[in-house]
Chains A and B, each alone.
Chain A
Amino acid sequence: MLVSMNWINDFVDLSGEDIPALIKRFTLATAEVEDVITKGSDISGVVVGKILTCEMHPNSKKLHLLTVDKGDEVVNVVCGAPNARAGITVALATIGGSVCGKPIGKAMLAGYESCGMCCSEAELGLSSENAGIMELDDSLKAGTSIKDVFPIDDVIFEVDNKSLTNRPDLWGHYGIAREFAALTGKPLKAVPVLKAEDYASLPSVSLTSTDEMLLRYVAVKAENITANISPAYIKIRLYYCGLRPINLLADLTNYVMLELGQPMHAFDGRKVEAVEIKRFEKPFEFITLDGQARAIDNSNLMICADNTPSAVAGVMGGLDSEIAPDTTSLLLESACFDAAAIRRTSVKLGLRTDASARYEKSLDPENSMTAALRFMKLLLEICPETKITSNFTDLYIKHFDIPVITFDKTYIDRYTGIDIPSETIVKTLTSLGFGVEQSGEAFTVTVPSWRATKDVSIKADLVEEVTRVYGYDNFPFITARSPLYPVKPSISKTDENTAKDILSRRYKLHEVHSYIWYDSKKNKDLKLSLAPNLKVINAQTADHETLRADMIPSLLYFVNENKGFGDDFGIYEVGHTVKGDKNSKATEQKQLGIALYSRSTDEEFLLFKARDIIAAFTIATRGANPEFINIKPEQSFCHPKNTSEIFISGISCGYISILHPTIKNTIDKKANIIIAQINLTEYAEIPGINLSYNESPKYPGIDFDLTIPAPKDSRFSDISKAWTESQHEHLKSVSLIDIYGDTTKNITVRLSFSAPDRTLSMEEVNAHITTITSRLSDMGITIRR
């Protein structure tokens, strides 16, 4: 919202104040000011001039040669405006002055000297009118400074509308003036209005409504409105505040809206006798002022003039109700509607107006009458011939309760941590319009109607009023006195941090972030076919509606998009996956997804690298090696033969797989891609193995290398049962030395034996070996010794 300091000065005398500093304080105490524009500083040396003579330029179809009386002398001016003619009064920028910040000097135009410039309204920044030069009242004296004629000098500041959402009272200049009064301690003047009782004897306007969406409707009629054009100061203020002047009645509705925050509607008095405010059961189409057809149904409140819908309540008038230029009679609406209802209508119609933006903030219905009285006061001032022909008819359906809040000073102190004196509390609240009764350190506060619609209702709200005016800059920063106690990161958080460190620091992978939904277009491109899952119902695009049940697809999008990055890279993401459908609550899991891509290493090497990464993580976090059990994959993107489920201490917590060749080839025929996912939610439940210290053996051990000719398709995890599933108290470790052979899988392992109290004898070791080889032979593997 744009605010004019000239306008503010109507209600609070800020002379002598540092205006830029005051506007900064407004930002800190009330609402954010986004911009400050100084009007008129770029205009100087512009005076009232009288065109004495006007001739066409001999060599130009557009230019005129003028002589202009500027009070102290008559000057020659070359002017291109089509409306330039002898006898009119104009705004003349003189030599040495400036317009739009540009200096005015003597200039030669098409061979003739020009000693000044006749200005348009746009050039003086008074409107967007630039078709011709501005024509002034002929009664003005030549040589009078234009700034004495028009209030050109002003400071306009723009308040961020978002910071006003909770302050319906700040949507007009008067409310903002009240803030400045509180900030400076200067008195706030009353708004000049008519007295309703002076018109009470006139007939009422016929108003009918029982709809609860209407809070209050004030209507008044007037006739014989002979003036049609607004005074310059009104036009300038409207223009400075971002509105286009139209005609007197429309301008006044806007003026009062900007002044008091109350939207108003002027109906053509000839067309409206009785007003009814109601909803219609049957949907219909209604053409609004902007020429658009709007679908109206029983959720939209309509203003009906003589049974015909003529405005969407609180949003916009109808095309037919627009006030005609020739009208001299008026029916004025100053109403208040239910905020939520107006917002719903505005959202549904996709139509946000100055009126609806205000109504949806919960306006004060008390203000509706004030605004009507203000409007008529202004109208009578501007056009004294006006005759008010009705009383100020008032249909007041819903009053807001006026909260009375009691609190004591300690309540404020508790929130502030400092001592704001009682007098300051009283003074601040009073200056903001609150009624305050003090008894010792106890206060009883009556909330003013303009703050009572939703904004202020509890004690904490008053803390804000007191502290913001006191100034947050005046608060010291003080640590809390609360006791300390130790905090320990959760297992899940520690696991996540360890995983990231191992993956990024040791294995040089790159952490990425993707989205919580799949991209169905990318799935199609990569030939990923994924099971249906829970959906977002209002996604920006249908491609992004299915939530991810697995981390890998998003990682594959990235692998595909990063092919140009290098021949080898690994990426991972710690994120959430979701499983569910429309009938049940979603199950959410924290997951670690990994994808390794390589063009320079073979599939086997890459798979084992991924396996090492997972093992490094499980050892660092639980002290346990992972186990891998070959499985038939659930996911269509996993390799049908090379997918393993990952177990830690016998608990399943993820999978590792070669990417399915179809998808791999779609991404890159020449590369190998390995994928893995660890469910960190489930992983957090797995207990760790406690460290217990073992002294290194004091007596030399005996290593025994055993080569096991295993069948080609056998798995090491099965062969190793030969020594893991029987008791060997002296077998301290088994390490893999080699695997070789084409037809058989010759596995050489080194069995290390030792005892803590003596050197083992060869016979003792041989006894262990015999047990192991006999178990192997049970498996059908014969060892030659």
Chain B
Amino acid sequence: MNIEEIKKKLSEEIESADKTEKVEAARVNFLGKKGHITSALAGLKNVSGEEKRTLGQAINALKREAEALFAEKLVALREFEERALIEAAPVYDLSIPVGEKSGSLHPITLVSRECEAIFSSMGFTVEEYGEITDDYNCFEALNIPKDHPARDMQDTYYLENGQLLKTHTSAAQNTIMRKYGKNLEAGMPIRAIFPGRCFRNEATDACHENTFFQMEGVMIDRDINISNLIYFMKKMLSEVFERDVKVRLRPGFFPFVEPGFELDISCAICGGEGCPSCKNSGWLELCPCGMIHPNVLTAGGIDPEKYTGFAFGLGLTRLAMMKYGIKDIRDFNSGKLANLTQFVH
């Protein structure tokens, strides 16, 4: 084949190649070891003189042209094929329901973790104590006298060995004071919370459970005062409810605090206007609290003339009910997965 013939054939084959594989085959056909152009270059050895030089230049020019054409064709075809691939691609529907099932945490765990995180960030230690305690820790050390109604059989579960199930997380106050009280002289305040399960011997209904959670909090130092108590309660509750919670204190009587308070928060449902949930008062009773009674400090080995402190007993179960809108307190210990599996985060 002469150059013209090769040129013609080259343009035909490149033209007709519609797949990258065909381009490759054609390339071998022209530029491979036995390809037309390679052969033509080999044929130069039979030519001589001026003609050899001219022909040689022409064939080499053709070779470069062929290489460029093949490269160009290959790029074009690849682009075409990729486009075709995209065009042929299916469109997946991610809007179909997610089949993945999730595990769940108990609502008390969720609320408790939240409170623990908030108080930890403010320097409170998170304490752990048992559910079984004794008369001293649950009552005596808390300035609750022998014939106080709280000690009645109808309120407290007594065990046959003389111990009892703790009726409030305040039962840990004495232990906390004894554990950390020695640090006070070194200038380290006592800051502790204790989330725990409590037991009251009463009939259950939608609003009453014999087994429920509280979170005790105590802070003791040289000059802890009522203004501090209001500050910490307001900060904590505003974090939990993710809004600026209004709080108010009113007198409440608990033997282990003096002054003692009931802490109310502004009703989230009506915003304080008054609604059935808050009995039209605009306020919800949330948490008994107060300044730790001097007798309680003394029982904990702390000098009430030197130190003051506040304590609160936040109802975690009640908090979870308010936060999630749980109407029946019995749902917490029901083990009913149809309800509990909602608490995924």
Closest CB of chain B to A224's CB: distance in Å?
44
Q: Is the CB of B250 within 8 A of A27?
A: yes
Q: Is the CB of A515 within 8 A of B101?
A: no
- From the candidates A507, A537, A554, name the one contacting B159 in the complex (CB within 8 A): A537
Q: Is the CB of A416 within 8 A of B157?
A: no
Taking CB atoms, residues of chain A closer than 8 Å to B153 are 538
Interface residues of B in 118-136 (CB under 8 A from A): 120, 123-126, 128, 130-132
- From the candidates B187, B199, B201, B294, name the one contacting A516 in the complex (CB within 8 A): B199
Q: Is the CB of A511 within 8 A of B291?
A: no
Closest CB of chain B to A392's CB: distance in Å?
31
Closest CB of chain A to B204's CB: distance in Å?
8
Interface residues of A in 492-520 (CB under 8 A from B): 492-493, 497, 500, 503-516
Q: Is the CB of B227 within 8 A of A417?
A: yes
Closest CB of chain B to A174's CB: distance in Å?
19
Interface residues of A in 463-484 (CB under 8 A from B): 463-464, 467-468, 472-473, 475-484
Q: Is the CB of B211 within 8 A of A477?
A: no
Is A631's CB within 8 Å of the partner chain B?
no
Taking CB atoms, residues of chain A closer than 8 Å to B293 are 460
In the complex, identify which listed stretch (A294-302, A304-312, A579-587) lies at the interface while the others stay far away: A579-587
Taking CB atoms, residues of chain B closer than 8 Å to A571 are 335, 337
> Nearest chain-B residue to A166 (Cβ)?
B253
- From the candidates B113, B197, B219, B294, name the one contacting A458 in the complex (CB within 8 A): B294
- From the candidates B113, B123, B261, name the one contacting A485 in the complex (CB within 8 A): B123
How many residues on A have C-beta within 8 angstroms of the other chain's C-beta atoms? Answer: 92
Q: Is the CB of B259 within 8 A of A464?
A: yes
> Nearest chain-B residue to A497 (Cβ)?
B113
Q: Is the CB of A538 within 8 A of B157?
A: yes
* Docked complex Cα distance between A498 and B62 (Å): 73
Is A30's CB within 8 Å of the partner chain B?
yes
* Docked complex Cα distance between A461 and B290 (Å): 12
- From the candidates A479, A511, A537, name the one contacting B104 in the complex (CB within 8 A): A511
Closest CB of chain B to A366's CB: distance in Å?
22
* Docked complex Cα distance between A252 and B164 (Å): 46
Q: How many A-B residue pairs have CB under 8 A?
A: 223
* Docked complex Cα distance between A305 and B65 (Å): 137
In the complex, identify which listed stretch (A139-147, A445-453, A557-565, A761-769) lies at the interface while the others stay far away: A557-565
Is A614's CB within 8 Å of the partner chain B?
no
Is B248's CB within 8 Å of the partner chain A?
yes
How many residues on B have C-beta within 8 angstroms of the other chain's C-beta atoms? Answer: 77
Interface residues of A in 504-548 (CB under 8 A from B): 504-516, 534-540, 547
Chain A proximity mask over B84-118: 1 for CB below 8 Å, otherwise 0: 00000000000000000111111011000100000
Q: Is the CB of A509 within 8 A of B103?
A: yes
Given contacts A32-B262, A460-B294, A464-B259, contact A475 B188 (CB under 8 A): no
* Docked complex Cα distance between A478 and B88 (Å): 68
Is A487's CB within 8 Å of the partner chain B?
yes
Q: Is the CB of A482 within 8 A of B251?
A: no
Q: Is the CB of A588 within 8 A of B132?
A: yes
Q: Is the CB of A464 within 8 A of B251?
A: yes
Given contacts A492-B128, A583-B161, contact A505 B230 (CB under 8 A): no
Q: Is the CB of B248 within 8 A of A562?
A: no
Q: Is the CB of B113 within 8 A of A477?
A: no
Q: Is the CB of B230 within 8 A of A487?
A: no
Q: Is the CB of A487 within 8 A of B123?
A: yes
In the complex, identify which listed stretch (A67-75, A340-348, A710-718) lies at the interface while the others stay far away: A340-348
Is A489's CB within 8 Å of the partner chain B?
yes
Is A402's CB within 8 Å of the partner chain B?
no
Interface residues of B in 142-169 (CB under 8 A from A): 146-147, 149, 152-153, 157-161, 163, 165
Interface centre among A415, A492, A558 (most CB of B within 10 A): A415
* Docked complex Cα distance between A535 and B340 (Å): 29
- From the candidates A414, A485, A508, A565, name the one contacting B223 in the complex (CB within 8 A): A414
Given contacts A557-B335, A562-B335, contact A468 B160 (CB under 8 A): no
* Docked complex Cα distance between A537 and B197 (Å): 19
Closest CB of chain A to B277's CB: distance in Å?
15
> Nearest chain-A residue to B293 (Cβ)?
A460
Is A323's CB within 8 Å of the partner chain B?
no
* Docked complex Cα distance between A18 and B228 (Å): 32
Is A155's CB within 8 Å of the partner chain B?
no
Is A396's CB within 8 Å of the partner chain B?
no
13 residue pairs bridging A and B, Cβ less than 8 Å apart: A28-B249, A458-B258, A461-B258, A463-B291, A478-B231, A480-B223, A480-B224, A493-B128, A509-B103, A534-B160, A535-B159, A571-B337, A578-B131
Q: What would 17 more interface pairs be, CB under 8 Å, given A29-B250, A414-B225, A492-B128?
A: A28-B248, A415-B308, A463-B291, A464-B260, A472-B248, A475-B227, A479-B228, A482-B219, A487-B191, A504-B103, A504-B104, A534-B161, A538-B157, A562-B335, A576-B130, A576-B197, A582-B161
10 residue pairs, one from A and one from B, having the closest CB atoms: A464-B259, A417-B225, A558-B335, A417-B227, A504-B103, A482-B189, A508-B103, A477-B231, A340-B147, A472-B249
